[in-house]
Chain A
């Protein structure tokens, strides 16, 4: 059975004279037990989709079912079975760590002890601060507490809205390790994130941009579908290199990418040596050019551009 099934879902918001299409006729299936990533920048529609799945908001058109239940008709039953972590910290700031957890357990007619096994590894990290008010916790701790509260009733599906936004690389890594171990315990997990480098940590991903899915597949599948030639270039003067590379007619889509620039040759007949020769003629020094495998971020940018044009 699919844990999530979304068919032709649309959602728009109107403020004054402006209407924003947050989700434009999108469809999606997430299998039970999957760790599924919804990847896209701010304003892509990630939160709208998760809020509809969490039964907090109704779509304008289309249907969504969660764990076999309809999000409009069966919302009460769904809420018993899912854990939802909104993007903004929404626990009670003036309750302690322990009180928050106890409160959420009580609402779901269970106790901290009943499902302690599920949260044990995460809770132990914040247990030294269990008497501290949630509002006084640091960002990373708040996030761990919020995850514990979303898990306390042993849901079969977790919906996480940007759990790693604004968090440093180290804490992000730890958070994804926690998700992997939760998945092993049988949970289906849907994570929304603006970080493209988190894509490879998911079983499957959906690339979302301005209310449309650009592509849905495994991370390696998405990369395999876009086997266009990609080059990486660097030199000892990156700003000038950016201008110089752009001024060469043989390449397009020249963008900085970490310590390199990435660019695509216009035609498959273009030899990478021609680019190197051109850059040498521009007095660039310590030039490195090489052909590379695209990353998810390259594919996303490529698809965004295509979408813009069409």
Chain B
């Protein structure tokens, strides 16, 4: 099972075409257990399509991938049960309370009531939300909401979590507190697959992958990429690569 795996994600020539348009073009890469893996690319480079395939939400046209030990084509349901997922756009139900959201997600992931109760208590104490358990999520400040959303995505202790632009619009202090949650999760062995438009956040990743026109054009540690492209930031690397894009998608 995935506990014994060294590679949490293995993609092999993963491809998705829509008509005559190749959104994702034979990408191959591995994500190691416990790694923070930054997945970058311009709008339209194929990031979302690749991510949807890895989450078991979209079938590839060709190629294959194993996510947490499961095959994305044949075992997509298994993948959905195994992974955690959070995006800026959709995470929590605003018209449910903090506690109800956790109860709902725990239930969806098939946890029993005792486990849900224990996890609810531990998250509440970690985020200092004990007084807010019966508050509607909609009335929490955005910073708390995002941190809570992350904790809920981690509710069933997944070995791998996908974070799709988790920090968009969040204030600079909360954005950093959020990354400390990511660091802590990775430190405890969770693999983190994250997309972001903040280039300073790309520097926090163990390795960064940059997609251009459906292909992976760069994949390495941030320091190695900076050196390779002779620039002092990942933003510099990104801009050099994005300029080579031919696609007019976005």
Report the minimal beta-carbon distance from B200 to chain A, rounded to whole angstroms.
4
Is B3 positioned at the interface, with any CB of A under 8 Å from its CB? no
A141 proximity list for chain B (CB < 8 A):
250
Cβ–Cβ contact B239 & A42, under 8 A: no
Check if A8 is an interface residue, CB within 8 A of chain B.
Answer: no
Q: Select from chain B the residue with minimum beta-carbon distance to A259.
A: B203
CB distance from A276 to the nearest CB of B (A): 20
Contact of A41 with B by CB under 8 A: yes
Residues of A within 8 A of B186 (CB): 239
A140 lies within 8 A of B168 (CB): no
Within 8 A of A (CB), among B7-45: 41-44
- The answer to whether B173 touches A167 (Cβ under 8 A) is no
Whether A104 sits at the interface, judged by CB under 8 Å, is no
Residues of B within 8 A of A248 (CB): none
- 8 Å CB interface, B170-187 against A: 170-174, 176, 179-180, 183-184, 186-187
A169-B204 in contact (CB<8A)? no
Kindly state the separation between the CA atoms of A138 and B48 in the bound complex, as whole angstroms: 13
> B200 near A170 (CB under 8 angstroms)?
no
Residues in A with CB closer than 8 Å to B239 are: 169-170, 173
Give Cα distance in the complex from A267 to B235, angstroms: 34
Q: Is the CB of B43 within 8 A of A259?
A: no
Q: Does B142 sit at the interface, judged by CB under 8 A?
A: yes
| Proximity bits, A280-310, B CB within 8 Å = 1, else 0 | 0000000000000000010011001100000
What is the interface size of chain B, counting residues whose CB is below 8 A from a CB of the partner? 41
Are the C-beta atoms of A140 and B172 separated by less than 8 Å? no
Which residues on B sit within 8 Å (CB–CB) of A41? 142, 169-172, 174
- Whether A108 sits at the interface, judged by CB under 8 Å, is no
Given contacts A167-B43, A239-B187, A242-B180, contact A297 B172 (CB under 8 A): yes
Q: How many A-B residue pairs lie within 8 Å, measured between CB atoms?
A: 96
Hey, which chain B residues are within 8 Å of A269, CB to CB? none
Does the CB pair B43–A171 fall under 8 Å? yes
The proximity string for A residues 162-182 relative to B, scoring 1 for CB distances below 8 Å and 0 otherwise, is 000111111101000000000
B170 touches A140 (CB 8 A): no
Question: Are A258 and B168 closer than 8 Å at their CB atoms?
Answer: no
Tell me whether B5 is interfacial, beta carbon within 8 Å.
no
Q: Does the CB pair A165–B242 fall under 8 Å?
A: no
In the complex, A242→B197 CA distance in Å? 23
Asked whether, in the complex, the Cβ of B222 is within 8 Å of the Cβ of A259, the reply is: yes
- A76, B165: Cα distance in complex, Å: 39
A-side interface size class: 35 or more
A256-B204, A259-B203, A301-B173 known; A170-B238 Cβ under 8 A: yes
> 0/1 per residue, A17-41, Cβ < 8 Å to B?
0100000000000000000000011
Cβ of A92 under 8 Å from chain B:
no
With a CB–CB cut-off of 8 A, which chain A residues contact B245?
Answer: 170
CB of B164, distance to nearest CB on chain A (Å): 11
Q: When A138-B249, A140-B44 are in contact, do A170 and B242 touch as well, CB less than 8 Å? A: yes
A256 with B176, Cβ < 8 A, contacts A41-B171, A171-B250 known: yes
The smallest beta-carbon distance between B82 and chain A, in angstroms, is 25
A118 interfacial contact with B, CB 8 Å? no
The residues of A that contact B165 with a CB separation of less than 8 Å are 166
Instruction: Provide the residues of chain B in CB contact with A166, threshold 8 Å.
Output: 165, 168, 197
Complex formed: what's the CA distance from A138 to B248 in Å? Answer: 9
Among B187, B197, B223, which residue has its beta carbon within 8 angstroms of that of A169? B197
Q: Whose C-beta in chain B lies nearest to the C-beta of A298? A: B172
Cβ of A255 under 8 Å from chain B? yes
Cβ of A45 within 8 Å of any chain B Cβ, yes or no, is no
Contacts of A138 in B (CB 8 A): 43-44, 249-250
A140, A194, A242, A256: which contacts B169 (Cβ < 8 A)?
A194
Residue of B nearest to A304 (CB): B173
Residue of A nearest to B236 (CB): A169
List chain B residues, Cβ under 8 A from A170: 42, 238-239, 242-243, 245
A259 to B200, CA, bound (A): 7
Closest CB-CB distance, A194 to chain B, in whole Å?
A: 5
Residues of A within 8 Å of B248, CB to CB, are: 128
Cross-chain contact of A43 among B141, B222, B226 (Cβ < 8 A): B141
Closest-by-CB residue of B relative to A300 is B172
Which residues of chain A have C-beta atoms less than 8 A from B179's C-beta?
256
For B130, the chain A residues whose CB sits under 8 A away are none
Docked Cα-Cα span, A168 to B186, in Å, equals 26
Contact A168 B183 (CB under 8 A): no
Min CB–CB distance B115 → chain A (angstroms):
28
A305 & B43 in contact (Cβ 8 Å cutoff)? no
Q: In the assembled complex, which residues on chain A have CB atoms less than 8 Å from the CB atom of B169?
A: 41-42, 165, 194
Q: Which residue of A lies closest to B184 (CB)?
A: A239
Q: List 16 A-B contacts (CB under 8 A).
A: A41-B169, A42-B142, A139-B44, A140-B43, A141-B250, A166-B165, A168-B42, A169-B197, A169-B242, A170-B243, A171-B43, A173-B239, A194-B169, A256-B180, A258-B233, A259-B223
| 15 further contact pairs, Cβ within 8 A, besides A139-B43, A259-B233 | A43-B141, A165-B169, A166-B168, A168-B41, A168-B197, A170-B242, A170-B245, A171-B43, A194-B170, A196-B172, A239-B183, A242-B180, A256-B204, A258-B233, A305-B173
